[in-house]
Structure 1
Amino acid sequence: MAGTDLYPVAGCKFYIGGITPTQIDDFIESDFVTSPDQFVEVDGWSQMGAFGDTAALISTQLINRGRDIKQKGTTNAGSMQNVFAEISEDEGQIALIAAAQGDNKSNYAFKVLFNDASGASGSEPSVAYFVGLVMNASSAGGAANTVRNLNATIEINSNVVKVAAT
């Protein structure tokens, strides 16, 4: 029977990798693990955005049936809207800001490291990998007793590769 433990978001980590072009076929784990220092952690992650495929709706209006028939169309892995406590000297945040520049049209590799390792010796947490465009990395204020934030939206341009915890 599969484990039924629940894990908090606290302890998860977000990483940006290098420029990674999209490809015709779905990505697999080995496309992302070529070098252990390929990814840089983005520090100060305070809000994890949603990600994962959603199918487009195709609706066909059939006159003779008086009914719309629906089909699933292409899939879109979404827009991951993340919030980070602004840390101006953090290498990961600097990389996000550079990737968001208007003249930068490149896709980047991303990694989400979850905190669901079993705790047994040699266990590893689950991981999600994907490729996407950094659409913005905007500073945001708030109320008097809040820190400045960096809001970053990643438009995911690939499948999401999920690697189970071991």
Structure 2
Amino acid sequence: MPVFATAGSKVYIGTALESGTGELTVDDFDDIVWTSIGNLETIGAVGDTSNSVDGTFIDRARVVRMKGARDGGTMELVAGLSYTDAGQLALIAAEKSPHEFAFKVEFNDKPATGASPKNSTRMFVALVMSASEQLDGADNLMKLNASLAINSNVIRTNASAT
């Protein structure tokens, strides 16, 4: 697959969904109702990193590292503020809630040909930790900044021709 631009990608907020204690699968997102978040300027990063578990052993005079717990990170969304965008309103409501919500990022990368071309997606569960308005100078758009603390594995689906 060739590389592609972020332009044309979309981010959706879904209904409340608990991350649970195990790995989520694409089937866990089957019944989710998705709402597109409009006017996005920046989507941010998504994906696991491992914590470092360190030990210093006297007889080796060396720090030894192992991989610890996985961390999905925090996705930082920036959108042009809209008082009527359903996705932005859902983000603001989710920030006020203690519950986790389903999220989907859909890339603009489906093949040009095929029986039913589909875009790649990334799906995960996150807490909306912030939904703040950024009000800069006179020649700037007002923005909605949202931080999504990812509490699950990130489910990847690849673009396909069917």
TM over 0.5: yes
Name the residue aligned to 1:85. Answer: 80
Report deviation, 1:120. Answer: 1.3
- Residue 93 of structure 1 aligns to a residue whose secondary structure is helix
Name the residue aligned to 1:22. Answer: 19
Name the residue aligned to 2:120. Answer: 126
Report deviation, 1:143. Answer: 2.7
Q: Does 1:73 align with 2:68?
A: yes
Report deviation, 1:115. Answer: 0.6
The separation in 1 between residues aligned to 2:42 and 2:136, in whole angstroms, is 15
The separation in 2 between residues aligned to 1:25 and 1:87, in whole angstroms, is 36
Deviations 1:87-110 (A, max 9, x none): 110111000000111xx2100000
Report deviation, 1:34. Answer: 2.1
**1:9-158 alignment runs, 5 A limit:** 9-34=6-31, 38-101=33-96, 104-121=97-114, 122-158=116-152
Q: How many residues align?
A: 159
Runs of 4+ in 1 over 6 A off after TM superposition: none
- Residue 21 of structure 1 aligns to a residue whose secondary structure is coil
Deviations 1:1-50 (A, max 9, x none): xx2x2111010000000010121221111111225xx1000001110111
The separation in 2 between residues aligned to 1:94 and 1:6, in whole angstroms, is 33
* % same residue: 34
- Residue 43 of structure 1 aligns to a residue whose secondary structure is coil
The one-letter code matched in structure 2 to 1:85 is G
- In the alignment, structure 1 segments of 5+ residues that lack a partner are none
